Amino acid sequence: MQMIKSILLVDDETLFHLVFDDACNILNISLSLESVSSADAAEVLFKKYVNDPTDKPECVFVDLNIVGSSFDGIELVRRINFQYGNGVVIGIISSSCDQIEMAKAELAGAQFWIVKSDDIEPRLEQFRDDYDGYKNRTGIFKVYK
């Protein structure tokens, strides 16, 4: 199983950036991780990747409710998938377990939904094991609770 080359985390909670970075490193999930705090900042990056995909991440984790953004995580997933060209493994990472939101996210093109909690590592481990399926688009939408 290969490590993910680069991950982009979109989450307004800066402390979670640290948690996610350390957890990914300890679990050997990724080689590099970039974090942004708003959906708008992530959109700017993806606009840039349309012309220059050099630094385009391999996988994107998006928070559901990104405080300080002009749109939510599901809308960002939709824009990345349908507006800025697909090509990344993308999903939601949120403390919410709302079934309606999950259905919306799936419709927007999210491939997974990871429920945030203090004990995030086991879920990330499961995600790591399923990652190849997401990458070659054979894996179905899955919720990691």
Binding site residues, other proteins, CB under 8 A: 3, 15-16, 18-19, 22-23, 25-26, 28, 30-32, 118
Looking at the Cβ atoms of 30 and 69, the one nearer to other proteins is 30
Give least dist CB 40 to other proteins, A. 24
Q: Please give the order of strands across the beta sheet that includes 89-94.
A: 30-36, 4-10, 59-62, 89-94, 112-115, 142-144
Looking at the Cβ atoms of 89 and 124, the one nearer to other proteins is 124
Give least dist CB 79 to other proteins, A. 29
Contact indicator for 118, 16 with CB cutoff of 8 Å: no
Retrieve residue 88's tokens: 């990344």
Looking at the Cβ atoms of 59 and 105, the one nearer to other proteins is 59
**CA–CA distance, 96 with 101 (Å, rounded to integer):** 9
Please name every residue paired with 30 in a beta bridge, in sequence order, or none if there are none.
Answer: 4
Looking at the Cβ atoms of 23 and 41, the one nearer to other proteins is 23
- Pick from 110, 131, 96, 120: nearest CA to 22: 120
Give least dist CB 35 to other proteins, A. 13
Give least dist CB 144 to other proteins, A. 18
